[in-house]
Amino acid sequence: MRSLCFAMLKSPCSSSPLKANSRSTPPIPGNVSIFDVDISVSLIIDSMERILERYERYSYAERQLMSNDPEQTGSWTLEHAKLKARMEVLQRNQKHFMGEELDSLSMKELQNLEQQLDSALKHVRSRKDKALQEQNNILTKKIKEKEKEKAQQALLEQQQINHEVESSSNIVLPQSMQTLDIGCPPTSIGKLKEDTSVRRASSMVSFFFAIFLHFLLGGYATIETK
């Protein structure tokens, strides 16, 4: 590399004699030696070497990039073609499942399509039956919950009625009703409610006995006055 650069630097000076005679070479100043010129030439050569190395490095990277781009572009093109073909197949199968464009199918293809449709229909029916069963279970559960709520409501109403009956049974009879029970000790309303027939019979006996005494005493008083 250094010899190449040195040759490039020396090439203008190694021209023909005619050209050398026609162009005068500027004199070298007295204070500049040949050693200084060699140093300057060496520095120029070193800088040119670095420039050439940088150029080679960049050109190599550019060549690598240019060589990779076609492959990547080709792979993307191939992938796009595959996806496009697959999309066309899916669209065609969808039309076949919908019962469209069946003229181009052979007998074997039609049989395969029929089997696929039968299998799909079985799956659809199975899923529908399962969904109906789930809905029936939900409705049955709701009905049971409603019946339970009604039973609880009826129980609460019955308990309220029983409480009202017990509250009304604790009412004490008036004194006038208690005096009709001649010879009978006072009882509670619960006992009177249980022995209703006995109380009524006793009251009627007491009533008729009082009437009998009234008429009897009234007749005896009339006999004495006479």
Instruction: Please give the residue that has the higher pLDDT: either 147 or 62.
Output: 147
Give yes or no for residue 225 having a pLDDT over 70. Answer: no
Q: Of 31-40, 114-123, 131-140, 164-173, where does the model show the most confidence?
A: 131-140
pLDDT in tens, 64-115: 665 555 666 667 778 888 888 888 888 888 888 888 888 888 899 889 889 9
> Rounded mean pLDDT of 144-156?
92
- The tally of CA atoms less than 13 A away on the side-chain side of residue 192 is 18
Residues 216 and 211: their CA atoms lie apart, in Å, by 8
Distance from chain centroid for Cα 50:
65
Please indicate, yes or no, whether the overall pTM of this predicted structure exceeds 0.85.
Answer: no
Please tell me which residue, 31 or 118, carries the higher pLDDT value.
Answer: 118
DSSP state of 30: T
Say if CB 180 and CB 206 are below 8 A apart. Answer: yes
Stretch 30-44: mean pLDDT: 61
Are the C-beta atoms of residues 40 and 9 closer than 8 Å to each other?
no
CB 180 within 8 A of CB 207: yes
